[in-house]
Structure 1
């Protein structure tokens, strides 16, 4: 009898479903670079703070598309088939792939500048369906003000971007509008893959007074090529991504992407606790950091104003 009871107990243990608080969160990004990696880590940190801990009651899946949109679509279909509790796509291309792959699984996108333009949602306040998320729309007017503060004689901004990334195309339209208000003109140079970034940066030499790089995953993943051109040509290079300043950009005013990830994770937690994603308004990430690189400024022939250094969140020597 005891043997039968033990056998029954073993069978029951195998057939019992996972605990109600066991969850799976699947995260994917279009490429790996410091800002997107920090966003992923911030999501995991927010989940842990809410009691969802990997190895205990959380399965945390992560896949990078390595810069390939076709791979992003493949990952999206894979995750949709695995049916996690929530999918978190980081970046516009990954978000578009995931939203196209499922209508049932909750999706919380993040690091997407223009959710409406990317057709992820139809209404920021009432997204509806299975999708909500966090926008990192850049404060472009403030970026231009920063460039003019450092380079008061600047007249033309060179915009280095991937013309195939919806996020960057939307930001170009905003940049042109804000540049006109600031008395600046914009010239464009596009790279559709990382191998083209250095050549696209070189195409701006002699045509622009500064290079401005948005939160463009293709360009930022190959930032060092653009920085090399900027140093060689004494062409100051600014980005919207604060993590890029340590890699050689002159300055950036933007989000701390670890915090962006945390804010995203807080939305994920709300869904895990029972809220409908379609009822959660799409938020714009909070907070901006000013990061400057004194060594990069010297290499690019720029003297940074003392007032700017005094209010910087971080100064890289």
Structure 2
């Protein structure tokens, strides 16, 4: 081989290797559309869980990955705007928290990989074909099965046995199935518990006040707050009205009890964010979302607020207290 040919060959190989290294080392882009407000302490805890897990997998924000956060705050128009913005930026993966966030992003792209968190019914909503084989560009982590509604009403009757008229409060624009997803199992469990179920579709603090006031007009009223991003955003109003009208309320999120509600039973959502980091890692390394099965929750939390129970004149049984993961005194 002539000297000039040898130099050309070595030079070409060096350029190719350098180009490959640059491609491999390029900063990856992950978009995250969070369902709740940035100022919410639980939002911060979930983001921390994701970042810590992602960091352990070797992804350092602002070094080899750029994470762009957007916060829907339970407002549909804002969520849709942020979805368009994130898709337009063409990230490598988009992480969506809550059903409305996932729908907004899924309406914008069928090609960018999506990992969802806290979505109740991804199959019926058409996001995935099957939990085991999701197909398409979407996979992720569910939060509750529809049977959870039955567990909420059972919990309400255990902590406040006199609850005969059980209101179920939700926003029909944002709740899973427009409210029907969990309402079915609440209604199915009610007859055996000698309870009447009263659906309360609401969209504002004023409507929340009217609904809870109606429940509190006579003894025997109880409240189930449906898993719904809008209800999470409006929880200060729900908690305040439940206290003012002396209505015992069951919440699906830990922060429902820690913020002053009577009791909560639900998924440890921070754990879902921790687990989601592994899916994002695998997708960034080449795995297709279609090959990652949708996973269900494995950690649940029961939180009882004894301060609220005492204010309502409720004596919580020692048996129920013994099963609680956290007791607020």
TM-score category of the 2 structures, normalised to the smaller one = 0.7 to 0.9
**Aligned 8 A contact 1:110 1:134 in 2:** yes
Q: Which residue of 1 aligns with 2:290?
A: 278
- Show CA shifts across 1:165-202 (max 9, x none): 14261222232233345443210112224564333332
Give the count of matched residue pairs: 304
**Aligned 8 A contact 1:85 1:105 in 2:** yes
Distance 1:158 1:189 in 2: 7
Q: Which residue of 2 aligns with 1:177?
A: 188
Mark the CA change 1:103 to 1:184 in structure 2 (over 3 Å): closer, same or farther: same
Q: Which residue of 2 aligns with 1:264?
A: 276
1:24 aligns with 2:29: yes
Distance 1:278 1:183 in 2: 45
**Aligned 8 A contact 1:194 1:221 in 2:** no
Aligned to 2:142, which of 123, 135, 143?
135
- Show CA shifts across 1:13-34 (max 9, x none): 9xx9565363211101233244
**Aligned 8 A contact 2:46 2:270 in 1:** yes
Aligned to 1:199, which of 210, 223, 238?
210
Q: How does 1:214-233 map to 2 (within 5 A)?
A: 214-233=226-245
The TM-score with structure 1 as length reference comes to 0.88
Deviates more, 1:168-177 or 1:72-81: 168-177
- Show CA shifts across 1:64-108 (max 9, x none): 123321221221111111111110111111100001111111001
- Show CA shifts across 1:235-270 (max 9, x none): 111101112211011111112221121122222222
Q: Which residue of 1 aligns with 2:12?
A: none
Q: Which residue of 2 aligns with 1:53?
A: 60
Unaligned stretches of 5+ residues in structure 1: 1-12
- Show CA shifts across 1:123-160 (max 9, x none): 22211010011110153333222222212232221111
Q: What's the secondary structure of 1:41's corresponding residue?
A: helix
Deviates more, 1:244-253 or 1:175-184: 175-184
Q: How does 1:222-261 map to 2 (within 5 A)?
A: 222-261=234-273
Deviates more, 1:221-230 or 1:174-183: 174-183
Q: Which residue of 2 aligns with 1:106?
A: 113
1:288 aligns with 2:300: yes
**Aligned 8 A contact 1:23 1:57 in 2:** yes
CA RMSD of aligned residues (A): 2.3
**Aligned 8 A contact 2:30 2:91 in 1:** yes
Q: Which residue of 2 aligns with 1:153?
A: 162
User: Over alpha carbons, which structure has the higher Rg?
Assistant: 2
Q: Which residue of 2 aligns with 1:304?
A: 316
Deviates more, 1:138-147 or 1:262-271: 138-147
The TM-score with structure 2 as length reference comes to 0.85
Distance 2:60 2:206 in 1: 38
Deviates more, 1:118-127 or 1:205-214: 205-214
**Aligned 8 A contact 2:144 2:267 in 1:** no
**Aligned 8 A contact 2:263 2:303 in 1:** yes
Unaligned stretches of 5+ residues in structure 2: 1-17
Deviates more, 1:217-226 or 1:172-181: 172-181
**Aligned 8 A contact 1:230 1:300 in 2:** no
Q: What's the secondary structure of 1:284's corresponding residue?
A: coil
Q: What's the secondary structure of 1:245's corresponding residue?
A: helix
Distance 1:107 1:189 in 2: 33
